[in-house]
Amino acid sequence: MAVKIRKGRSGALDFTPMIDMVFNLLIFFLVATRFEEEERSIDLDLPTASAAVPLTVRPKELTINVDRDGRFIISRTEVTEQQLFEVLRQASESNPGRQTVVVRADKACPVQPVVTALDACKRAGIRDYRLTTALPGSQ
């Protein structure tokens, strides 16, 4: 009795599409991380807080930097108080109920610009806003 041998594809899987997707994801995350670092590259001396916890999920957020002289900086551009409000209002209209704002203030800056930034968030209809601090010893 003759034994028939089947010729054809073996049971091996083709990993080429999966490898392509891994490379695409790697490129995406490298580019996204670069944009995030650019926003946080302004040299500020943040105040410390022992109860601060890092975020586990990063929502879409707008970062307002307040330097030691009380100037507002968004996306590496200095803005006035009125321009700050307009940027926040437009962001709130573009992402109703979902816009997140992070205020980063130098610990040597006066309190009033920080309060002004938080008040502008409230007036623009943004509910999710917070003030960033650094953990002790992280600077």
Beta bridge partners of 130: 102
pLDDT at 123: 94
Cβ-contact 95, 132 below 8 angstroms: no
3-state secondary structure (DSSP) of residue 72: strand
Q: For the chain, list the domains and their CATH numbers.
A: 44-132 (3.30.420.270)
Report which of 12, 19, 75 is spatially closest to residue 42, judged by C-alpha positions. Answer: 75
pLDDT tens by residue, 3-25: 777 666 666 678 888 999 999 99
Token code pair at residue 127: 């509910």
Residue 46 has pLDDT above 70, yes or no: yes
pLDDT at 31: 79
